[in-house]
Amino acid sequence: MSLRKKIKEILASDQKDYEVVINGWVRTFRNNQFIAVNDGSTIHTLQVVIDKDSLTEDEIKKINTGAAIKAQGTVVESQGSGQKVEIKASQVTILGEADPSKYPLQPKRHSLEFLREIAHLRFRTNTFGAVFRVRHSIAFAIHKFFNDKGFYYLHTPIITGSDAEGAGEMFQVTTLDLKNIPLTNDNEINFKEDFFNKATNLTVSGQLEAELGALALTDVYTFGPTFRAENSNTSRHLAEFWMIEPEMAFADLNDDMDLAEELLKYVIQYCIDQNPDDLDFLEERLTQEESQKPQIERSEMKLIEKLKFCVENDFERLTYTEAIRILMNSKPNKKKKFQYVIEEWGTDLQSEHERYLVEKHFKKPVILTDYPKEIKAFYMRLNEDDTTVRAMDILFPGIGEIVGGSQREERLDVLLERMKAFDIPAEEMDWFLDTRRYGTCEHAGFGLGLERLVQFITGMSNIRDVIPFPRFPGNAEF
Ligand code: ATP
Ligand code: MN
């Protein structure tokens, strides 16, 4: 039987005086005797006490920060303070050295900007270990939530031939020779000669395909990468991000909001339960980061308190029209403190407006509904008033929009009208329209950006620090 155990398991158990083998990376080495080892299973390190006589001088020199080691020994009560147990090692093997004159991650504080440049090594820091363990918990909880509710996980295509949504922000996929592009008689690019015999792109959303699934399986969800070539260098946008898109048949906008609110609360609670040590660490990190900022920019609640608040309170639900009234009457709007002052009903909300509503006015998550039809997508269900659509956005403190969703237009004639208004050629969308021709029904869904949720739960302020290898304008490193 293998004696090998993960560090998390050893630290979680009260058992003592048994033989184990551990593997991990050296964090620090003190007094030529105490090695703090981390294997990524937990934020904590395990102290390995070596028997100096069992190692040569040469071997001891190789025990440096970053080196991979294997240790065998007995788990004993710790003599020092700070940990319950430690390993009294009978044997230590250096598996992979890390030259201290070159290894960039020496045990000191590194800036997040610096760590982004060495993203291939940043997993080994406490901060990024914690972030990616939490990210895993979030992803797992999402699948569990939907599975337990009877939703089916649907894999929608990553390469898409439909460019109905935001054609301008798509990444084109082609195998055409860019140095010798085939042209048609009209001097247009001849995509008939391309790999798929047509122009294709990376998907910006799996929604349209998810709708097709929902209109047969009733409840489905997608969970996959999406791509947007938008040139927005913000702390909330990536060019490649992961999106969760549930779609429910026989459901309206209220069902949609209920589902989104329940999902968010479930996932946050799951992390509170499963990642207490990681969240404690991230809270401490955030508190330190915020102490550098002026008082008014600091959040009123600490990280975990904020998460619990979110789970325990109902999200505030109001219409776009009500929100506009609040914003137009707000101090920053009257005093022209907003970068974009709101002059009239109908304007799209900027993130400064969203954050005002969430952070200053309601001080809790907010769901805005019934937006003007002009600023939302063609597939959203038109209201009786003929001017607003059954859309909903969920706004979170510190993040802004975290979810965007809607009840879908299920009436063929209205949908065709809307497509015409948006200049979307119906011929190319025939497959989508078939669901409205045959067995159409009320249905609704939303898109949740995984990274924005990871940002909220971990308190990381930049979205580039919650995905292992971020893609943004000018960067596709690693
Ligand atoms: P925003 O106004 O913030 O750009 P959006 O209106 O373009 O968002 P949707 O098209 O509704 O967003 O996408 C659904 C969700 O996907 C958003 O609520 C957000 O959580 C996430 N999302 C959208 N764009 C990005 C991006 N570039 N990077 C990361 N997440 C994103
Ligand atoms: Mn966007």
C-alpha to C-alpha distance for 192 and 201, rounded to whole angstroms: 15
Average pLDDT of 191-208? Answer: 95
pLDDT (tens digit, 9 = 90+) per residue, 53-71?
A: 889 999 999 999 999 999 9
Rg of the chain, C-alpha, whole Å: 27
Average pLDDT of 391-405? Answer: 96
| 453 Cα nearest atom in ligand 1 | 20
Cα distance from N-terminal residue to C-terminal residue, the chain: 38
Average pLDDT of 252-265? Answer: 98
| Ligand 1 within 6 A of CB of 242 | no
Q: Which ligand is nearest to the CA of 391?
A: 1
| Ligand 1 within 6 A of CB of 9 | no
| Centre of ligand 1 from the C-alpha of residue 399, in Å | 11
pLDDT band at 82 (very low <50, low <70, confident <90, very high): confident
pLDDT of residue 471: 97
| 400 Cα nearest atom in ligand 1 | 3
Crossing angle for the helix pair 126-148 and 450-458, to the nearest 10 degrees: 120
| Ligand 1 within 6 A of CB of 243 | yes
Average pLDDT of 352-364? Answer: 94
Helix (H) or strand (E) holding 85: strand 85-96
| Centre of ligand 1 from the C-alpha of residue 408, in Å | 18
pLDDT of residue 164: 60
pLDDT (tens digit, 9 = 90+) per residue, 280-301?
A: 999 999 999 999 999 888 888 9
pLDDT of residue 163: 66
| Centre of ligand 2 from the C-alpha of residue 290, in Å | 27
Say if residue 191's pLDDT is above 60. yes
pLDDT (tens digit, 9 = 90+) per residue, 35-57?
A: 999 999 999 999 999 988 889 99
| 230 Cα nearest atom in ligand 1 | 27
- How high does pLDDT run on average in the chain? 95
3-state SS string for 163-207: CCCCHHHCCEECCCCCCCCCECCCCCECHHHCCCCCCEEECCCCH
pLDDT of residue 168: 60
Say if residue 166's pLDDT is above 60. no
Q: Which of 232, 367, 452 has most ligand 1 atoms within 8 Å of its beta carbon, as the pocket-test mutant?
A: 452
Average pLDDT of 414-427? Answer: 93
Sheet of 152-153, strand order? 152-153, 219-227, 240-249, 443-449, 400-407, 388-396, 366-372, 316-319
| 449 Cα nearest atom in ligand 1 | 20
Q: Is 451 helix (H, G, I), strand (E, B) or coil?
A: helix
Looking at residue 463, what DSSP letter applies?
G
| Ligand 1 within 6 A of CB of 237 | yes
Q: Which residues contact 345 (CB under 8 A, 6 or more apart)?
A: 321, 324, 372
pLDDT of residue 76: 97
pLDDT of residue 108: 86
C-alpha to C-alpha distance for 365 and 307, rounded to whole angstroms: 11
* CA-closest residue to ligand 1 atom 22: 449
pLDDT of residue 211: 97
| Centre of ligand 2 from the C-alpha of residue 205, in Å | 12
| Centre of ligand 2 from the C-alpha of residue 146, in Å | 25
C-alpha to C-alpha distance for 213 and 248, rounded to whole angstroms: 9
| Centre of ligand 2 from the C-alpha of residue 304, in Å | 28
| Ligand 1 within 6 A of CB of 228 | yes
Say if residue 443's pLDDT is above 90. yes
| Ligand 1 within 6 A of CB of 402 | yes
pLDDT of residue 53: 84
| 394 Cα nearest atom in ligand 1 | 18
Say if residue 83's pLDDT is above 90. no
Q: Which ligand is nearest to the CA of 243?
A: 1
Say if residue 167's pLDDT is above 60. no
pTM over 0.85: yes
| Residues forming beta bridges with residue 85, ordered by sequence position | 77
| Ligand 1 within 6 A of CB of 401 | yes
pLDDT of residue 298: 84
pLDDT (tens digit, 9 = 90+) per residue, 460-478?
A: 999 999 999 999 999 999 9
| Centre of ligand 2 from the C-alpha of residue 239, in Å | 10
pLDDT of residue 295: 85
C-alpha to C-alpha distance for 87 and 27, rounded to whole angstroms: 15
Place of tokens 């769901």: 367
